[in-house]
Chain A
Amino acid sequence: MAGAAGHGGGHSPLVQFEIKEIVPLKLGGIDISFTNSSLMMVIAVALTAGFFLIGMRRGALVPGRWQSAAELTYEFVAGLFRDTVGHEGRRYFPAVFTLFMFILVGNLLGMVPYSFTFTSHIIVTFAMAAVVFVGVTILGFAKHGLHFFSFFVPPGSPVWMWPLLIPIEIISYLSRPISLSVRLFANMLAGHTLLKVIAGFIAMLGVAGVLPLALVVALTGLEILIAFLQAYVFTILTCLYINDALHLH
């Protein structure tokens, strides 16, 4: 959706995903410039922190509107975490909560026209998925030692099937960060591209452009739902991976 109305129909729908340097920075020869992507991340963090810090400012026994919203958000993620991981993984809840809020606010910020969706970049989603993957694997080894490898043997399977099953299990385990990151990235990319393509038709069709306009309005609603849903999916899968590492099968 970003910049949907800003660029003419002649531009590629992928222009909205371009990274633009705002403040050029270099660290040891590596380009770490402050870009539009970085700006949106900073805004996401500021909004999230502000939402909770201001909402919980008073910490009243009977919550007001903002406090209620902050508490409901917490209850939602806490409920999800409780159902999938349980009390044992309590220590990892802050990380999961941060992950959910960061992705959710990033996705929703992307729905603001002329903004930028940092979750539509595979490198961002892959970095998050890789941290989850590495963290969960370390957690599994720390908790179970070498016994963690038994995770790759499906329980109850006959021994003669092991040469087939174990490689499948290992591949499925290793593909976790890829599926986790591609799912979020692809959803954001496809949704925003589709919006941009259909928005292009509005100007092209003239009066008949009301039809794609109505479609864009409907799709914008759908995209907001997907923004929430993908943050939810990323979080619940992270919870399931933590649960796997804690309890193996």
Chain B
Amino acid sequence: MPQLDPSFWPTQIFWLFVTFIPLYVILRRAVLPRITAVLESRQRHIDSDLERAASLKEEAGAVLAEYEKTLAEARERAAAAIKETSDAMAAEAAKRQQAFAQELAEKVKAAEARIAAAREQALGQIATVAVEAAATATEKLIGLQVREEQVRQVVDEVMGGRG
């Protein structure tokens, strides 16, 4: 077995060290610092990205809350405005209705008074006309001059106080 031939041992040990040590130096000085630097910078990048995302999310949440608050306030204000307006309109309507009713009542009263006056006047005229008509008729029929007071008395009797 060639492995057990000691005449080749020194060269293998020699070349093992001659090759292993430079590899160690290259990996330690050039390769490993580079890999760790790259990995660390990547980790930092990821961390900072995550951090930024979290802060943006927080900001967005705050904006959303603000928006909702504003919206709620606006709703409240709108509801208050609607209520105020409808109250004012209702009050106005009631006031106008009341004024109108009052006016109407006054007009009715005035009209009733006018009607009563007209009726009285009409009745008075009827009596005068009736007295004249009766006097004239009496004169023409029987040629008797009747005194006006007498005729009035009779007419009053006939009309039964309705004159």
Contacts and interface: CB of A to CB of B under 8 A. Distances in A.
Nearest to B4: A122
A33 interface: yes
Nearest to B8: A19
A49 B23 contact: yes
Contacts of A33: 11
A48 interface: yes
A18 B35 contact: no
Contacts of B144: none
A53 B22 CA distance: 14
A128 interface: yes
A160 B34 CA distance: 54
A12 to B, nearest CB: 9
A67 B37 CA distance: 13
Contacts of B27: 48-49, 52, 94, 97-98, 101
B32 interface: yes
A37 to B, nearest CB: 6
B22 A121 contact: no
A32 B15 contact: yes
A233 interface: no
B7 A31 contact: yes
Nearest to B39: A71
A107 interface: no
Contacts of B45: 61
Contacts of B13: 123-124, 127
A212 B42 CA distance: 50
A53 B14 contact: no
Given A61-B42, A120-B3, 20 more contacts: A17-B1, A25-B11, A32-B11, A34-B15, A35-B11, A35-B12, A38-B15, A45-B22, A52-B26, A59-B38, A61-B41, A94-B27, A98-B23, A98-B24, A122-B3, A122-B4, A123-B9, A124-B13, A127-B17, A189-B3
26 contacts: A18-B2, A19-B5, A19-B8, A19-B12, A32-B11, A35-B8, A35-B11, A37-B15, A41-B16, A45-B22, A52-B31, A52-B35, A53-B26, A56-B34, A60-B38, A67-B38, A71-B39, A98-B28, A101-B23, A102-B19, A122-B3, A123-B12, A127-B13, A127-B16, A128-B20, A189-B3
